[in-house]
A and B are shown apart, each in its own frame.
Chain A
Amino acid sequence: MLKINNLHASIEGKKILNGITLEVNAGEIHAIMGPNGSGKSTLASVIAGKEEYEIESGEILFNDEQLADLKPEERAREGVFLAFQYPVEIPGVSNINFLRTALNEKRAHQGLEPMAAKEFLTLVKEKAALVQLDDKLKNRSVNEGFSGGEKKRNEIFQMAMLNPKLAVLDETDSGLDIDALRIVAHGVNTLKSAENATIVVTHYQRLLDYIVPDFVHVLYNGKIVKTGGKELALELEEKGYDWIKQELGEEIKV
């Protein structure tokens, strides 16, 4: 589904990604871990198509299509979803109206008619229950005055509504207490299918107790330096990121 080949990317002339290669297939959950500043969020932003980031070389293929040729909104309509680390507030625009607009844009892209109001509301009800989103929040302005946990749940709610092929969760666990973490993880796990894939970007192993990854990649200095199964996350948690640095140091010496 997603193939990243030797990707180099920078922001404002500063190089952040130094040759990332990664393949994600349908039905898989990948975790990307790494210390602060290793390029995790940059990778998520580049996949979503954030303007400030420049791809210097390499490519990202999404279902064999060059992502770089697609505008951010086209990527979204094709099924790329980014759950933001810091969800943005849009005053005066109700959550529901926002989602209906987004959903219908996607449907238009697929050649479908806008969803009928009744069908839409049924869907909202079903998906909101998945992340236990408070009824009030549906009609409030997008993320305005939401608590940290509510914002993150709202992201997963949107993901559930839009049903993406590839979801990238950027530090969705940050700022969540244990209950909210469980709720968010339950949402993600329920949405998992053989047709979609998820990339979980996280600093801590904690989230991976609830969302069990098929692969764990360690990002360091803009490169994937280690890949393993879910046990790698535990090892990281135990030994800390210094362990990776040391290991790398040894490799360099050799």
Chain B
Amino acid sequence: MAYTEEDLKEELKGKEYEFGFTTDIESDKISVGLTEDTIRLISEKKNEPDWLLSYRLKAFNVWQAMNEPEWAHVHYNKPDFQAISYYAAPKQKKVLESLDEVDPELRKTMEKLGISLEEQKRLSGVAVDFVMDSVSVATSFKEKLGELGIIFCSFGEAVQNHPDLIKKYMGSVVPMTDNFYAALNSAVFTDGSFCYIPKGVRCPMELSTYFRINESGTGQFERTLVVADKGSYCSYLEGCTAPQRDENQLHAAVVELIALDDAEIKYSTVQNWYPGDDKGVGGVFNFVTKRGLCERNAKISWTQVETGSAVTWKYPSCILKGDNSIGEFYSVAVTNNFQQADTGTKMLHIGKNTRSTIISKGISAGKSQNSYRGLVKIGKYAQNARNFSQCDSLLMSDRCGAHTFPYIECDNPSAKVEHEATTSKIGEDQIFYCLQRGIDEEKAIGLIVNGYAKEVLNKLPMEFAVEAQKLLEISLEGSVG
């Protein structure tokens, strides 16, 4: 009997989330609920200085007075913040002398994720920090980076070893009062990554953090802080996965980038949190605040490939404070089944001759909802500011939605702001053309979608472009109809 498209759909519907395994590691997890005591406990477990504890408590107060934002084009049952455990750490020996001492179960996890640290060390020269649940468990390449004066470590270590830098920059771009989730994160964050590139140093390798939620009933609240001192350069990549669970897990991170005069930061994300099943059950709520500050002649590029999460709420932004600074945002956001994404960027032009580019490619399949939301704001003193925005949407089915919410605020008449938007549906004729050349539907969709997203994928570091392409294909398998 002929194999019909229906059969294919059926087969692919249950296509398993590849990273849906859990790791059986003894874990140090505190009981659920959030009070001042919880925060004190986290701070104590992390052996933190008093100033950080007071920062947390202040943030907690701010958070309690705030309401969860409702303006995004997403619908979900709000998380019960008292039903979450705010700290879970894989139990292991206190201090690791080398990667060989990492718990074997944990190493297996890393291997399943495709981040065999040894391999990466040898082949691609990528330095990896691995954050599981709440704490950072391994950072490779630390010594080699140290020779250049580059600090790349877990946030917790940075608090202990580089308190001045943390004190100076933490919350300087995303203040605790910024929004509901940023405030929550500031109160309960458990770990994350810290990176400092000294003056004039060009970081010779990709810096990478892998985040993974493992424990059930936990949230992940990590902070990333990247400081590129004057004239320095670094490229940073974060990847995320989570096990398959029926419950909704909360991920509320804060990422702050600081590019001082003449510095450049490239920040790439491949986000693959568990998206929930084909009925919309489970999946990660990804409520993340990411923002970068550009001083004079500095440049920050955000590149994101978003394929996971049940609900995404995320707007990596640039504050173009210094004259001649440049902000870029390249995004591919894929939603399938019942996923919802409300994502985009803010480009705040403050300095003169500041330039920004926004390329957003939304791909919606199944019954998903995919929104681009972006703000381009040209301040009063931003003479000759330039912005170019392009927002494309690709529809894979007739039950999904694509929405674009571009906001432009311009207070300087010399500014030039361009916005282009397109919406297209993946063509049956395109697919048939591929089929007729011997390329099956799955590969055809992969080709077409990767072609559509090419402008963004080209911005990813080589090592990760291939992974991102594969992810796009996996996320969209069997989704035409």
Residues of A participating in the B interface, judged by any CB pair closer than 8 Å = 48-51, 68-69, 71-73, 75-77, 81-82, 84, 87-93, 97-99, 101-102, 105-106, 109, 141, 158, 162
Contact = CB atoms under 8 A, between A and B. Distances in A.
B448 A93 contact: yes
Nearest to A107: B438
Given A73-B436, A101-B447, 8 more contacts: A82-B436, A88-B432, A93-B447, A93-B450, A93-B451, A102-B437, A105-B443, A162-B437
Nearest to A105: B438
28 contacts: A48-B436, A49-B435, A49-B436, A51-B5, A51-B428, A73-B438, A73-B441, A76-B436, A76-B438, A82-B436, A87-B433, A88-B429, A88-B430, A90-B430, A90-B451, A91-B452, A92-B450, A92-B451, A92-B452, A92-B455, A93-B451, A98-B447, A101-B443, A105-B443, A109-B438, A158-B437, A162-B437, A162-B438
Nearest to A89: B430
Contacts of B447: 90, 93, 97-98, 101
A73 B440 contact: yes
Interface string B445-465: 001101111110000000000
Interface in B170-217: none
B454 A90 contact: no
Contacts of A72: 432, 435-436
A77 B443 CA distance: 14
Nearest to B429: A88
B413 interface: no
Contacts of B281: none
B310 to A, nearest CB: 28
A105 B436 CA distance: 11
A162 B439 CA distance: 12
10 closest A-B pairs by CB: A92-B451, A93-B451, A76-B438, A102-B437, A92-B454, A72-B435, A88-B433, A105-B438, A77-B438, A73-B435
Contacts of B440: 71, 73, 105
A141 B455 CA distance: 13
B433 A84 contact: yes
Nearest to A81: B436
A71 B2 contact: yes
B71 interface: no
B2 A68 contact: yes
B78 to A, nearest CB: 39
A101 B439 contact: yes
B3 interface: yes
A89 B429 CA distance: 9
Contacts of A76: 435-438
A55 to B, nearest CB: 11
Contacts of B448: 90, 93
Contacts of A51: 5, 428, 432
Main secondary structure of the interface of A (DSSP, over half): helix
A41 B322 CA distance: 62
A213 B112 CA distance: 59
B149 interface: no
Nearest to A88: B433
A68 B4 CA distance: 12
A106 B432 contact: no
Nearest to A52: B428
B49 interface: no
Contacts of B3: 71
B427 interface: yes
Contacts of A158: 437
Nearest to A79: B438
Nearest to B433: A88
Interface string B418-429: 000000000111
A98 B437 contact: yes
Given A71-B3, A87-B433, A105 B451 contact: no
A109 B433 CA distance: 18
Which of A102, A106, A141, A158 has the most chain B CB atoms inside 10 A of its CB?
A102
A207 B3 CA distance: 38
Contacts of B435: 49, 71-73, 76
A162 B433 CA distance: 14
Nearest to A84: B433
B432 A50 contact: yes
Contacts of A90: 430, 433-434, 447-448, 451
A49 B447 CA distance: 21
Nearest to B446: A101
Given A68-B2, A87-B433, A88-B430, A73 B439 contact: yes
A48 B440 CA distance: 14
Contacts of A71: 2-3, 435, 440
Nearest to A70: B2
Which of B436, B448, B450 has the most chain A CB atoms inside 10 A of its CB?
B436
Contacts of B438: 73, 76-77, 102, 105-106, 109, 162
Contacts of A75: 436
Interface in B271-324: none
Nearest to A93: B451
Given A93-B447, A93-B451, A102 B439 contact: yes
Contacts of B432: 50-51, 72, 88
A49 B440 CA distance: 13
Nearest to B440: A73
Contacts of B428: 51
B442 to A, nearest CB: 10
A167 to B, nearest CB: 12
B35 to A, nearest CB: 52
Contacts of A84: 433, 436
Nearest to B449: A92
A108 to B, nearest CB: 9
A82 B432 CA distance: 11
Contacts of A87: 433
A77 B434 CA distance: 12
Which of B428, B439, B450, B453 has the most chain A CB atoms inside 10 A of its CB?
B439
B451 A91 contact: yes
B439 A105 contact: yes
Contacts of A106: 438
Nearest to B458: A92
B12 to A, nearest CB: 15
A32 B481 CA distance: 34
A35 B364 CA distance: 42
B177 to A, nearest CB: 42
Which of B432, B441, B448 has the most chain A CB atoms inside 10 A of its CB?
B432
